[in-house]
Amino acid sequence: METNLGTIALTALLLVAGAACLRGAAAAETRTALHDPLATLQEKTDEVGRPVLTAFAAYDHAKIRKAIAALEARAGTDAAHDLDRYVIAQGYAEVATIRRYYEKHDEDAMPAALEALYADDIAEKGLAQAAAFAERHPEHSDIWRVTAELKASQIRGMTSGFTRGPEALEAITKAQELDPENGWALFAQGRMHYHNPAIAGGDKDLALRELRRVVKSIENWRVFHYLSLTYDAKDMLPQAWFWAQKASGAAPENPEVALHLREVREKREEER
Amino acid sequence: MTARTHSQHRARRARGVALALAFAALATGCTSFARLEANDPAVGEEEVFAAGEPGDTEHLANLHHVLSHRADYEPEVVAAALASVGEIGDPSSVPYAAALSRDDDEEIRWHVAAALRQLGGADADAVLVRMADEDDSDLVRSEATR
């Protein structure tokens, strides 16, 4: 009986490995060009909303929050733009990311303005804006990517992971169904595969393939940074070092990128 | 046949199936150097990178094949081959790496510079000096001068 159970377990493992191989091969064969909806948004929004898109590389939360406040203030007035809620939701997703960085890596340096905001409240405000935008534009792919990022930002351990994780995945799937060439949706999926534990669908190999595909079309500091993180996790240090430097060059004021650059440099020095 | 021998027979058969599946998994190239050894352009960068153990020249000819057939491989696979030949440290890799020093892709040129620094020697140094002087990319120039 024990032998049979062991054999069944081994067979199951091999089938899972085989499926992963086939999935990898299928992913490698997909080579359509992706596009960058955030670059489009940066062009289409006005000078009030644009800082939301331009201040993120430096993690300038004050500038992002100021822009969000200005956009919220003009909601319901004649000055409001159709894209405002999308921009605001994106802004809250960025603030959540910045707050998470301080919370995880540099709590003592957390700016008071960010500390005063509850992480869950940031996400809820963003989700409300995203839902309102999606109601008017149900076929808009990228608003579902923003929704996924906001829901993922609410994951704070196993319990929230079991509820918010599937919700985030559902939103990413919807974003990709609506627009299979949405580069940021594939990035969000790669991020999820990077961060999630294996038991919750995490897969660093898959994350790497997804990010490599994104970077062919979107040359952005965040894509470079996640490529470096993924290579680092796979102990491919020369590649991690190259992409960490690329990220640092594209976002020289970003503290998270700078921290990772230092970590990879130290690992390389230890290895020598 | 007794119940015990039936059970042993079933267990042996199940083990045979498992072994066949294990062989099939290996044959896909996911857990071996099968694709690299077959000079298969669909080889993954992880497989190519894993072939780069210091002093281990077992896969050097396959890595040189990747470098000399640049157009057939994804840039990340070529980059991984450069990282591997640098790590192996065999001087025979210098011309293969040097031939890519003017590649269009910054990532590849950066890995060329990193590999040539590891490989060393007069020929590698001459290419590094030119790269440090002429390359368009700050990152590549910096890697070539370190």
- Model pLDDT, residue A110: 94
- Model pLDDT, residue A21: 44
Model confidence over B39-78: pLDDT tens digits?
A: 999 999 999 999 999 999 999 999 999 999 999 999 999 9
Instruction: Identify which has the larger pLDDT, B30 or A94.
Output: A94
Check if B20 contacts A (Cβ < 8 Å). Answer: no
The percentage of chain A sitting over the pLDDT mark of 70, rounded to a whole number, equals: 89
A61 in Cβ contact with A113 (< 8 Å)? yes
In chain A the domains, ranked by start, together with CATH numbers, are: 11-218 (1.25.40), 219-272 (no CATH)
Question: For A137-236, where are the alpha helices, taking DSSP H only?
Answer: 141-153, 158-178, 183-195, 204-217, 221-233
B76 contacts A7? CB cut-off 8 A: no
| Segments in chain B below pLDDT 70 | 1-31
- Model pLDDT, residue A151: 96
A195 pLDDT higher than 90: yes
Check if B124 contacts A (Cβ < 8 Å). Answer: no
Residue A182: helix, strand or coil by DSSP? strand
Is the pTM higher than 0.80? The answer reads: yes
B46 contacts A25? CB cut-off 8 A: no
Task: Show me where the domains of chain B are located.
Answer: 3-145
List the single residue in B with minimal CA-CA distance to A9.
Answer: B18
**What single-letter amino acid sits at B33?**
F
- Model pLDDT, residue A162: 86
A1 pLDDT higher than 80: no
- Model pLDDT, residue A159: 84
A13 in Cβ contact with A26 (< 8 Å)? no
**Averaged pLDDT of chain A:** 90
Query: Which distant-in-sequence residues (6+ apart) come within 8 Å of A55 by Cβ?
Result: A63, A64, A67
CA distance A99 to A112: 11
The percentage of chain A sitting over the pLDDT mark of 90, rounded to a whole number, equals: 81
CA distance A248 to A72: 32
Model confidence over A141-190: pLDDT tens digits?
A: 999 999 999 999 999 888 888 889 999 999 999 999 999 999 999 999 99
- Burial class from Cβ neighbours inside 10 Å (0-12, 13-18, 19+) for residue A249 reads middle
Instruction: Identify which has the larger pLDDT, A7 or B60.
Output: B60
- Model pLDDT, residue B27: 47
CA distance B122 to B56: 23
Contacts of B10 in chain A (CB under 8 A): 4
DSSP tag of A35: B
DSSP tag of B105: -
DSSP secondary structure of B14-81: HHHHHHHHHHHHHHTTTTSSHHHHTT-TT--HHHHHHT--TT--TTHHHHHHHHHTGGGS-HHHHHHH
Q: Which fold has domain B3-145?
A: Leucine-rich Repeat Variant (1.25.10)
A171 in Cβ contact with A149 (< 8 Å)? no
- Model pLDDT, residue A214: 98
Residue A183: helix, strand or coil by DSSP? helix
- Model pLDDT, residue B16: 52
A64 in Cβ contact with A94 (< 8 Å)? yes
- Model pLDDT, residue B8: 58
CA distance A130 to B83: 44
B39: left (phi over 0), alpha (psi -120 to 50) or beta: left
Q: Which of A6-15, A33-42, A126-135, A161-170 has the lowest mean pLDDT?
A: A6-15
For tokens 């650059």, name the residue.
Answer: A261
- Model pLDDT, residue A268: 92
Residue A199: helix, strand or coil by DSSP? helix
Model confidence over A8-30: pLDDT tens digits?
A: 444 444 444 444 444 444 444 44
A249 contacts B138? CB cut-off 8 A: yes
A212 contacts B76? CB cut-off 8 A: yes
- Model pLDDT, residue B15: 55
- Model pLDDT, residue B4: 52
CA distance A149 to B31: 33
B17 contacts A238? CB cut-off 8 A: no
CA distance A257 to A246: 10
CA distance A62 to A66: 6
**Confidence tier at A7 by pLDDT (50, 70, 90):** very low
**What single-letter amino acid sits at B16?**
G
Instruction: Give the orientation angle of helix A183-195 with respect to helix A141-153, to 10 degrees.
Output: 20
- Model pLDDT, residue B9: 56
- Model pLDDT, residue A96: 97
Contacts of B21 in chain A (CB under 8 A): 11, 14-15, 18
- Model pLDDT, residue B10: 54
The percentage of chain B sitting over the pLDDT mark of 70, rounded to a whole number, equals: 79
A197 pLDDT higher than 80: yes
